[in-house]
Homo-oligomer: A and B are copies of this chain.
Amino acid sequence: MATVELRFSALPAHVRTARLVAAAVARRSGVDEAVLDEVRLAVGEACSRAVHLHRRHCPEVPVMVTLIDDEKAFSVAVTDEAPQGQREEQGTLADLAASAAESTDPDQELVIPEVGLAVITGLVEDVEVAPGRDRGVVVTMSWPISV
């Protein structure tokens, strides 16, 4: 029931705030010290991805991060509101990298949303990527609490 909700305008600087908050709340919730780097990275990836999509599709809409600590696990849900139809194509990492290589859009070179998702799923054991209520995607990551 101990919940923290963070909403921020879609700016890269706030991704750092989200990482900081996630790591601090995770530590206090009893997530193992050794795992905090993973929390920081995974939450940062999920938020970078959401910020990138919002800037492209809905720059006025804030990104939402919900932190829930239910005594057995610490969970973070990152919700973007990017319209579903316009979401990036799925593809292999190599395809994505190749398309990034051909692109001259510097922003695209920097952020490939699906590479961020690949890092998250490669890193975190318990991840769920589900469609959002109206649009967008909710990335939910959980870590066990060692008390």
Q: Which of B3, B17, B28 contacts A25 (CB 8 A)?
A: B17
Q: Chain A, interface size: which category? A: 20 to 34
Q: Which of B3, B5, B16 contacts A28 (CB 8 A)?
A: B16
Complex alpha-carbon distance, A121 and B143, angstroms: 41
Identical subunits present:
2
Residues of B within 8 A of A16 (CB): 24, 28
As a 0/1 sequence over residues 23 to 54 of chain A, the CB contacts with chain B under 8 angstroms (1 = contact) are 01100100000000000000000000000000
Identify 13 new A-B residue pairs, CB closer than 8 A, beyond the known A1-B9, A3-B8, A6-B7: A2-B9, A2-B13, A3-B62, A4-B17, A5-B6, A5-B7, A6-B21, A13-B28, A14-B25, A16-B24, A17-B25, A20-B21, A21-B21
